[in-house]
Amino acid sequence: MINARTMLSFAEDYLSERRALGFKLRMEGHYITAFALFADQQGHRGPITNGVVLNWVQGQAKQATPLSWARRLAVLRPFARYLTRVDPDTEFPETAIFGRAH
């Protein structure tokens, strides 16, 4: 159950699972860990929501541009899919909310 665990513990599990499959996830791992720490520091519990994702994407980026926001969303999307296995109430913003990530 998501409510009983920190987002960081889910991020660590996700990254361990993906790395065991051979993915390096250097930059992605950094962003996913940063998001998880942000969510935990905000006191967020339960499934991720559009609100917590958008607060992190827009509020933490040093380069506050729609392109950088889109890239952060693209990095988090696989992690959100992973979390839907744990809790189907997981939310994630629409793909093109900020335009293309590349």
pLDDT bin (cut points 50, 70, 90) of residue 86 is: confident
Full-model pTM: 0.88
User: What count of other Cβ atoms lies within 10 Å of the Cβ of residue 15?
Assistant: 19
pLDDT at 64 over 80: no
Going from N- to C-terminal start, the domains of the chain cover 2-86
Q: Are 92 and 48 in contact (CB under 8 A)?
A: yes
Confidence of residue 67 (pLDDT cuts 50, 70, 90): confident
